[in-house]
Chain A
Amino acid sequence: MSVGRAARAMPTLLRVGMAEAIAYRAEFIVWMLTSTLPLVMLGLWTSVADEAPFASYRAADFVAYYLATLIVRNLCGNWAFWHISEEIRQGTLSMRLLRPIHPFYAYAATHLASVPLRGLVALPFAAILLYSSASDQLITDPALIGIFVLSVAGAWTLTFLTLVTVGSLAFFIEKSMALFDVYIGVFAVMSGYLVPLPLLPHWVGQVADVAPFRFMLSFPVETLLGMHSRTGALEMLAAQWAYVGAVAVVALLVWRSGVRRYEAYGQ
């Protein structure tokens, strides 16, 4: 199951993945609506900070933060957990295991292929709002823009691999959805999805600084809003991709162990 075979098959996998995303457009819109939480938070926090800044965040800062969060979340979110756990539970994974390509490539292509559609539907609206309301905060330095693009790629990969790992636990646990609920709760707090990380209680913020979740969302948002210098952003980027490597190893180990169990017990 070589990388070369996967690379040659990737254009077709992406094309078919895009066709699937278009076929599931109704579910897609519903899923996108569930990712509009930042807009709710935007409404809440701007009313809190309307009269005076809250912990140095002005109302305009909250607007910029949550619009940037909405954009990054739409670019990086995926539902690999659901995809994998359902296939394991229903036994349809068997058909995937009979194809001479590692399932990670196929899952990645399916989820990557939905990004352009999400971009087309949601991003123009959010991007125009962000530019019109917070253009002074957005980065213009080409180096930082490059780092932002790489940080979005890193955030997507890290989110995908983490969800693959959690989804693969369905090999061992019948009701793995409970684990996903725990994951999404921790993610919402630690990634900056609910609240900007500087607003978290001190000790929670310290944990969030070293946990992988901020690299799935907050780091690209912070970079887009010019909250890091070039050097600082580069250091964060290195840390993010180190996490990508580490989680990739964990995902492969959990997957291999799960497939061995699947081969032993069947479905």
Chain B
Amino acid sequence: MIEVRDLHKHFKVQRRAAGLGAALRSVFHRDYEIVRAVDGVSFRIERGERVGFLGPNGAGKTTTLKVLSGLLHPTSGSVEVGGFDPRRRESAFLSSITLVMGQKQQLLWDLPPAETYALNRAVFQVPDAQYRETMAELSELLDLGELATKPTRQLSLGERMKCELAAALLHRPTTLFLDEPTIGLDVSMQVAIRDFIRAYNERYQATVLLTSHYMEDVAALCQRVIVIDHGRLVYDGDLRALVTKMHPRKRVSFTLTAPVDRDQLERLGTVVEHEEGHVALDVDHAELRDAVSHALAELPVADLSVEDPPLESAMRQLIANHRAERGESA
């Protein structure tokens, strides 16, 4: 269980204009400003939940994850992870969590990942039987094969991330903080990592807090999302409800065998695309059934699909609405 109450994390950051004059002035006098990276965030995550942690760049996601893992201390507010105060970084706490950062690695660069595994096994005091069992499971779930015996520097980005995940999970943590675990990976590798996270969560009832710029990751893994912007909580709830709230209309796309007048389409919904052979309409949820029946009866339809608008679009709308309410610029 993770409990965050009114978390604030502020940084004092130096400000300096460009140029030699400003550089010389900064020798004698430095200007600072307070950056409110996290500004009064509260949420609670139950054991075994998979939660997406979303927000634009600089929203405070990584800062929050670092506070949760004990690397940063809160300016104010309180945090509890699995019954521990992360600030103390007790051995039992560190053995119960893992933080995977897509941009930073723990694998020893010039040695095979197997050496990092041996190191983690010794440091986390993983018993022999558990080590063999966990390695076998992780090898199977991540399809590690021979990767663990190749020098890390010779692995591709995706292979490295697989090995990184294995190193991070060798001690079977029950709380996973995953910061952009699929960054830079190709689609098939993203899918493999997602499948792995889901399987690990189900097998060990592990709590997962995931940040990702790939909305497919979030949509595939998380029913619940927490959205922050400029350090403030913007949304905490069901992912589908967020999409419906931001875009209460479905998108209906048709492939047509003959041209159709725009007037005819506008009777069914709002036309968003009208090209030869292809049209797309936005239709209210309540009118969806009628619109589809009429279209099938009246139009030369060869193919039809009904989709929610993309999550990215809902996120953009949510952030824009939040900033407009607060009178901030986008």
Interface residues of A (CB under 8 A from B): 1-2, 5, 8-9, 11-13, 15-16, 19-20, 23-24, 91-92, 94-95, 97-101, 106, 260, 262-266
Contact = CB atoms under 8 A, between A and B. Distances in A.
Most chain A beta-carbon neighbours within 10 Å: one of B72, B99, B119:
B119
Contacts of B122: 8-9, 11-13
A265 B11 contact: yes
Contacts of B87: 263
A66 to B, nearest CB: 33
Interface in B72-129: 72-73, 87, 89, 91, 94-95, 97-99, 101, 104-106, 108, 110-111, 115, 118-125
A8 B122 CA distance: 7
A16 B104 contact: no
Contacts of B124: 99-100
A15 B121 CA distance: 13
Given A8-B125, A9-B122, A95-B106, A16 B115 contact: yes
A5 B91 CA distance: 10
Contact of B91 (A1, A97, A263, A265): A1
Majority DSSP secondary structure for residues of A touching B: helix
Interface residues of B, number: 34
Interface in B1-52: 11-12
A24 to B, nearest CB: 6
B119 A13 contact: yes
Given A98-B99, A263-B71, A16 B111 contact: yes
B69 A98 contact: yes
25 contacts: A2-B91, A8-B122, A9-B123, A12-B119, A12-B122, A13-B123, A15-B118, A16-B115, A16-B118, A23-B110, A92-B104, A94-B71, A95-B104, A97-B70, A98-B94, A99-B120, A100-B91, A100-B94, A260-B73, A263-B71, A263-B72, A263-B87, A265-B12, A266-B11, A266-B72
A162 B117 CA distance: 31
Interface of B: 11-12, 63, 66, 69-73, 87, 89, 91, 94-95, 97-99, 101, 104-106, 108, 110-111, 115, 118-125, 151
Given A2-B91, A9-B122, A23-B151, 12 more contacts: A1-B91, A5-B123, A16-B115, A19-B115, A91-B104, A94-B99, A95-B106, A98-B99, A100-B124, A264-B73, A266-B71, A266-B72
Nearest to A90: B104
Nearest to B89: A97
Contacts of A19: 111, 115
Per CB-CB distance, the 4 closest pairs between chain A and chain B, nearest first, are A12-B122, A100-B91, A9-B122, A23-B110
Nearest to B87: A263
Contacts of B106: 95
B110 A95 contact: no
A20 B111 contact: yes
B181 to A, nearest CB: 15
B72 A95 contact: no
Nearest to A12: B122
A133 B119 CA distance: 44
A121 to B, nearest CB: 18
Contacts of B98: 98
Nearest to A265: B11
Contacts of B101: 94
Nearest to A262: B71
A8 B119 CA distance: 11
A98 B95 CA distance: 9
B170 to A, nearest CB: 12
